[in-house]
Amino acid sequence: MVYLIQNMEDLNKKISETELRLIVIDFFVEWCGPCKHIESEFNNLRENYKDHVAFFKIDVDNDGCMEICKKFNIASMPTFVFVLDHKYMMNYRIEGANIEHIDNNIQ
């Protein structure tokens, strides 16, 4: 299952509620070509890891998510951020539509 995050409160709540150790957050925008290109491959990853990884999506164009984007210094899309054991891995992120890199880091 994927959660579409609406704001910082929602993100913090979903992180605290998940029982899975790893969370992958996909920062995207609807009009982004690379975001659209990687979407079906990312859906496959979600299906493959659904019992082990929680997947969140954050629409960068959503005004409610501006605080989150600032916190994570989101400047390009797609950007993928990892949360391990309910802690943000602030120095670890993947920018761009590189599904193999995302898959390797989940494993």
Catalytic residue selected from 5, 24, 32, 83: 32
For 30-91, give the DSSP string.
TT-HHHHHHHHHHHHHHHHTTTTEEEEEEETT-GGGHHHHHHTT--SSSEEEEEETTEEEEE
35 is annotated as an active-site residue: yes
Alpha carbons 22 and 14: distance in angstroms, whole number = 12
32 is annotated as an active-site residue: yes
Catalytic residue selected from 5, 35, 94, 102: 35
By annotation, the residues acting in catalysis are 32, 35
